[in-house]
Amino acid sequence: MFKTLKSKLLAIFTFFSLSCILILVLSNYYSYKKEKVDIAERSVDLVYTSILNKFLLVADFLAIETRNLNFFKTGESEILFKIDSINKSVHNQILAIEKNSLTKKFDLDNSLLFIEEKLNMNNYFFNELVKSYKSKGYANYGYVGQMRAYSHKLEKYNFFDKATILTLRRHEKDYMIKYEDKYIDSLKKHAEIFMNHIIVEVKLSDKEKDSCVFYLKNYVAYFDSMTIMNKKIGIKDNSGLSYSINKIQDEIQSEFSKLTKLAYNLEQSLYENLNYSFIAYSLLLIITSLFISIYLSDRITRPILLLAKKCHGFVNSKFEKNDDCEIHTQDVEIKDLINNFQILQTEIVGLLVDFKQKVEDRTKTIELQKDNLIALNATKDKFFSIIAHDLKSPFSSIIGFSEILESNIDKYDKQKVKQYVSFINKSANQTFKLLENLLEWARLQRGQIVPELKKINLKTIAEETYLLAYDVAIRKKINLQNNIIDDIFSKCDINITKTIFRNLVSNALKFTCENGLVSISAKQNESFIEIKIQDTGIGISPEKISNLFSLENNISTKGTDNETGTGLGLMLCKELIEKQGGKIWVESELEKGSTFNFTLLTFNSDFYDKN
């Protein structure tokens, strides 16, 4: 049925593709079902969370707003506004759950209907509770406020004993603290005594007696109204409206516990079905794959292994044995592979002869490169001879001065010790700069320096160089200036460019006399930025300028303060500048100074990319 390797592999691929598609369809189906259950469960949790938040806000209202003067004054409350918002949100969330197809399938309707009815009842009782608290009042508002007002009016009459009114108010306060009925009876009994006292009071006119009686009756009436509201609210024994609200809240929480458990069981059941289905299909796929693998290893890999054996024999013969390859197979592709191997075998034998000839030619080229390498080694030897000579001198100074200082430290005064320490420090700095340039040059020769070109503000680099060289300039009494403006940006490597600036400025300071000038400036062209390091030093003769940037025939000159050097810094600068696509040249006149010019790419230049 399948005479070609291509048709066999295509059949296998088709089978695996159909299996994967089937598993993908089942996976999507179960994911869809799982998502529906998750949505239902999350919706139930969200409604439950919202209702619990509402219950907390109700508790906050009873604890805070019932003693908040602003609530009784304006009738408005931020807590009530939040409760109203939660009620609307819960209503919308329940509607969304009812629209979910799983709600009816798993019989969630009855629980949702029960919860919605209980929520409506809870809202009704809570609204009644809020109205009752508003009627009862607090401080100067509601029944409590009216009581206070009439008691204050009674207190204005000086004919009564103040203890009588204070006793009346004490019974009122005792009730409002303990909410016990005995204080109601005590207050009414005392009010009756007070009423009789008013009637028999001879110092009061009839009009005043009528006013006092009116005030006292109203006081008692508002006190009775307040006690009625307290019992309706159920402040003392959690009866009345408070009991109804708490009972409904408990019923809602109990129903939500059942609903949450039902949603969880539904989710677990679906997950088990999903796992069983995946396990079954995975086992089927593994068994089928194992059968196909055995078939492939027998029908496809056997001729390939024989061909591999022939290839191994050809390799062991050092590509000189050219035997016929007799392998029988029904696969057209493997037959073509065998034929191509025989052709390739013949071609390799022929190419091997050509290759030997090319090796002989390449050997001659290597001999030429060997001569070039000898020349490079000679340059290297000269370089190291310079380094050895220049390293020896400062180290000799350091050792000599330190030995003198060690032997005579007790004999020399502070000024003499400071002088020797200065000599040692100067030699150490000279050695450090030499080693720093040596390491940089060595990295450059090994190809370890690869410029990372970025947008760099040249003034920033010049400022940093200025700060590093400032102490030397001050010591030698040289005016060091940075004249580069802010908006000159170059495409360069910041560390390489710092090394160039540092070496050239250090070189300029080295050969500039006291009261001289060293300046740093830059001018931007279309593709390049030209930087000038200019000094008013001793200058350079024309015959020395030609050898200034090469190691051969390079003779170092001492600075104006007898500073020594190797000339390696300038050679390093030249190679680093050229590494970044620039160039360097010198303009100098003896006894008038020198100008070291070099170029860097502008930020928008593509010169380095092209080269």
d(CA 380, CA 398): 27
* Per-residue pLDDT tens digits for 188-215: 999 998 888 888 876 778 888 889 999 9
Q: How far apart are CA 270 and CA 259, in angstroms?
A: 17
pLDDT in the model for residue 56: 92
What pLDDT is attached to residue 189?
92
* 386 plus 488 within the same structural domain: no
Q: Which one-letter amino acid corresponds to residue 10? A: L
349 in the same domain as 209: no
Quick one: average pLDDT of 268-290?
A: 75
Domain boundary among 410, 425, 440: 425
The two tokens of residue 218 are: 């109203």
Cβ burial 393-425 (10 Å sphere, 16+ → b, else e): ebeebbeebeeebeeeeeeeeeeeeeebeebbe
417 and 470 belong to one structural domain? no
3-state helix, strand, coil in the chain (%, to 5): 75, 5, 20
Residues 417 and 533 in one domain: no
Please tell me the predicted confidence (pLDDT) of residue 386.
Answer: 55
Asked if residue 411 belongs to a domain, the reply is yes
Which of the four pLDDT bands, split at 50, 70 and 90, describes residue 353? confident
Give the residue-averaged pLDDT of 357-368.
Answer: 84
pLDDT of 607 over the 60 cut: no
Q: Where are the beta strands (DSSP E) in 174-261?
A: none
With a cut of 70, say whether residue 566 has pLDDT above it. Answer: no
**Whether pLDDT at 381 is above 70:** no
| Judgement on whether residues 415 and 464 belong to the same structural domain of the protein | no
CA pair distance 512, 514, nearest whole angstrom: 7
pLDDT at res. 209: 87
Residue 555, domain member (yes or no): yes
Residue 320 confidence (pLDDT): 64
Full-model pTM:
0.44
Query: What is the overall mean pLDDT for the chain?
Result: 81
Statement to judge: residues 456 and 592 lie in one domain: yes
The CA distance from 57 to 1, in Å, is 77
- Contacts (Cβ under 8 Å, ≥6 apart) of 214: none
Give the model's pLDDT for residue 154.
Answer: 85
User: Sign of dihedral through CA atoms 489, 492, 498, 499?
Assistant: negative
- Quote the pLDDT of residue 562: 78
Of 604 and 390, the structure prediction assigns the larger pLDDT to 604
Amino acid, single-letter form, for residue 70: N
Any domain includes 553: yes
Is 70 exceeded by the pLDDT of residue 542? yes
- pLDDT for the residue 584: 94
Q: pLDDT tens digits for 506-528?
A: 999 999 999 999 999 999 988 89
Instruction: Judge whether 474 lies within some domain.
Output: yes
Q: How many domains does the chain have?
A: 3
- Mean pLDDT calculated for residue range 51-63: 90
pLDDT value for 513: 93
Does 344 share its domain with 387? yes
Whether residue 588 has pLDDT greater than 90: yes
- 3-state secondary structure at position 565: coil
pLDDT on residue 372: 65
pLDDT at 548: 82
- Asked whether residue 396 falls in the same domain as residue 485, the answer is no
Predicted local distance difference test score (pLDDT) of residue 139: 85
Whether residue 409 is found in the same domain as residue 530:
no
Confidence category of residue 501, pLDDT binned at 50, 70, 90: very high
- The domain boundary, picked from 390, 408, 425, lies at 425
> Which run of H or E residues covers position 530?
strand 528-535
- Work out the pLDDT band at 365, boundaries 50, 70, 90: confident
pLDDT recorded at residue 577: 92
471, 523: one domain: yes
The CATH number linked to 370 is 1.10.287
Question: What angle is formed at CA 583 by the lines to CA 577 and CA 587, rounded to 5 degrees?
Answer: 115
Domain harbouring 460, CATH code = 3.30.565.10
In-domain check, residue 547: yes
Q: What residues contact 477, with CB distance under 8 A and at least 6 apart?
A: 514, 515
> Percentage of residues in the chain with pLDDT exceeding 70?
79
Cβ 571 vs Cβ 441: under 8 Å: yes
Averaged over 333-352, what is the pLDDT?
73
Q: Is the pLDDT of residue 460 over 90?
A: yes
d(CA 109, CA 262): 12
User: Which residues have a Cβ under 8 Å from the Cβ of 12 and sit 6 or more positions away?
Assistant: 292, 296
The pLDDT of 18-32, averaged and rounded, is: 74
Asked if residue 278 belongs to a domain, the reply is no
Single out the residue in 227, 260, 285 at which a domain terminates.
Answer: 227
SS3 of 600, please? Answer: strand
pLDDT band, very low/low/confident/very high, at 325 (cuts 50, 70, 90):
low
Q: Please give the residue that has the higher pLDDT: either 354 or 151.
A: 151
Quick one: pLDDT at residue 394? 63
Q: Are residues 552 and 420 in the same domain?
A: no
**Residue appearing with tokens 């001198």:** 393
Comparing 247-251, 286-290, 450-454, the range with the smallest average pLDDT is 286-290
State the alpha helices, DSSP H only, in 476-590.
Answer: 494-510, 542-545, 568-579
Q: What is the pLDDT of residue 319?
A: 66
For 83-113, the pLDDT digits (tens) are: 999 999 988 888 877 776 665 555 667 777 8
DSSP lists the bridge partners of residue 601 as 528
Q: Are residues 392 and 466 in the same domain?
A: no
Give percent above pLDDT 90 in the chain.
23
**Domain range spanning residue 360?**
318-425
Q: pLDDT at residue 121 above 80?
A: yes
* CA–CA dist 24, 20 (Å, integer): 6
C-alpha neighbours within 13 Å on the C-beta side of residue 93? 21
pLDDT of 351 > 80? The answer is no
pLDDT beyond 60 at 385: no
258 vs 188: which has the higher pLDDT = 188
pLDDT digits (tens, 9 = 90+) for 428-442: 776 776 677 667 666
**Per-residue pLDDT at 466:** 93
Strands in 400-462 per DSSP E: 454-457
* Residue 433 within a domain: no
Phi, psi at residue 528, to the nearest 5°?
A: -130, 155
Place of tokens 């062991």: 316
Q: Does some domain include residue 475? A: yes
Residue 491, SS3 per DSSP: strand
